[in-house]
Amino acid sequence: MNEAGMPNSAGQGGQGMAGGALATLRALADATRTPPPATGNDARLVALLAESHAAEAAHGVACNATADLSNAAIDEALDRLTAVLTTMAETPADTLLGIAVKAARICYTLNDNGGHSIGSDDELVARSMAEDIERLLPGLGPTL
SS (H, E, C) the chain: CCCCCCCCCCCHHHCHHHHHHHHHHHHHHHHHHCCCCCCHHHHHHHHHHHHHHHHHHHHHHHHHHCCCCCCHHHHHHHHHHHHHHHHHHHCCCCCHHHHHHHHHHHHHHHHHCCCCCCCHHHHHHHHHHHHHHHHHCCCCCCCC
| Gap between the Cα atoms of 70 and 58, Å rounded | 15
Q: What confidence score (pLDDT) does residue 60 get? A: 84
Q: What confidence score (pLDDT) does residue 140 get? A: 81
Q: Decide: pTM greater than 0.85.
A: no
CA pseudo-torsion sign 38, 81, 116, 57: positive
Q: What confidence score (pLDDT) does residue 17 get? A: 59
Q: Render each residue's pLDDT in the chain as its tens digit; 144 residues.
A: 455 554 554 444 445 556 666 677 676 666 666 667 888 999 999 999 999 999 988 888 888 887 776 778 888 888 999 999 999 999 999 999 999 999 999 988 887 655 566 788 899 999 999 999 999 988 886 665
